[in-house]
């Protein structure tokens, strides 16, 4: 790439075509993390200044929110680039998927309460552990649960189920939300893609959660898929290998 000289690990590997693009994204996002963290820290200091007026304090709060969103975007892009290039190693250890599910449900309890949603979980007792990376398995479950809750109408039901069969555990979440239009379903796992019908409900999404989730599940030896009808809801399902059968 003329005029760009990089000597970090982000430049090694496949330097042609898609590999080159991933390397650039990884490098660029990595370089953005430090200044953004610095901006966030300065804004936090400014917010502690008791001499700041309420109007200025409101501006600072808005700037902090925008900075947090940029940091999430940069971290998401960096994770995608590293997962795609194989430079983000995932650990392989037993993970209690039932425990992860309970933790995530605690994390979204506030919005579940605000929307008066009914959340059920079946098969959660006694399901065997899976082989995975605890941090990234948690991220997958959080992404899918957050989406189901976010796009469900107030008073709706969200159903989670876990089932061990053969050499895998299947985790599934079904909502009664807006669903995914048929013409959008081909692209739903693409980076930054968001279906038109969700943009009117939520303008803050990054469009990286499903892409990241699919990359993580597949690198851990599982599969992620969905079924959806617009206006009737969606069901997202993933599988992971049983821990006791891991090599």
Q: What is the pLDDT of residue 14?
A: 41
Query: Can you say whether residue 92 is alpha, beta or left, with left for phi > 0 and alpha for psi between -120 and 50 degrees?
Result: beta
64 Cβ contact list (under 8 Å, min separation 6): 40, 43, 44, 47
* Nearest alpha-carbon partner for 90 in 222, 220, 246, 243: 220
Question: Are 162 and 101 contacting, i.e. CB atoms less than 8 angstroms apart?
Answer: yes
Q: What is the pLDDT of residue 103?
A: 95
Q: What is the pLDDT of residue 167?
A: 92
Rg (the chain; Cα; Å): 20
Question: Are 159 and 234 contacting, i.e. CB atoms less than 8 angstroms apart?
Answer: no
Q: What is the pLDDT of residue 1?
A: 35
Distance, CA of 70 to chain centre: 15
Alpha-carbon distances of 71 from 68, 89, 177, 213, rounded to whole Å: 5, 21, 29, 19
How far apart CA 36 and CA 173 sit, in angstroms, is: 35
For the chain, which residues score pLDDT lower than 50? 1-17, 203, 246-247
Q: What is the pLDDT of residue 65?
A: 78
Q: What is the pLDDT of residue 99?
A: 95
Q: What is the pLDDT of residue 7?
A: 33
pTM for this entry: 0.72
Q: What is the pLDDT of residue 43?
A: 81
């Amino acid at each position: 790439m003329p005029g760009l000289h990089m000597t970090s690990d982000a430049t090694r590997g496949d330097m042609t075509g898609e590999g080159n693009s991933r390397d650039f994204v990884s490098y660029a996002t990595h370089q953005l993390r430090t200044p953004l963290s610095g901006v966030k820290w300065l804004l936090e200091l400014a917010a502690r200044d008791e001499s700041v007026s309420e109007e200025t304090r409101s501006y600072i709060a808005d700037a902090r929110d925008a900075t947090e969103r940029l940091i999430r975007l940069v971290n998401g892009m960096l994770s995608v680039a590293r997962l795609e290039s194989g430079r983000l190693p995932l650990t392989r250890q037993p993970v209690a998927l039932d425990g992860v599910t309970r933790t995530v449900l605690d994390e979204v309890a506030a919005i579940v309460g605000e929307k008066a949603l009914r959340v059920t979980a079946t098969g959660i007792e006694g399901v065997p552990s899976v082989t995975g990376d605890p941090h990234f398995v948690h991220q997958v479950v959080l992404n899918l649960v957050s989406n189901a809750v976010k796009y469900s109408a107030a008073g709706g039901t969200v159903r989670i189920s876990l089932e061990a069969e053969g050499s895998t555990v299947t985790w599934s979440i079904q909502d009664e939300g807006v669903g995914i239009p048929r013409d959008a379903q081909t692209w739903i796992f693409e980076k930054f893609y968001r279906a038109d019908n969700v943009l009117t409900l939520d303008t803050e999404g990054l469009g990286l959660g499903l892409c990241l989730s699919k990359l993580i599940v597949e690198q851990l030896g599982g599969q992620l898929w969905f079924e959806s009808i617009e206006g009737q809801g969606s069901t997202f399902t993933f599988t992971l290998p049983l821990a006791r059968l891991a090599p």
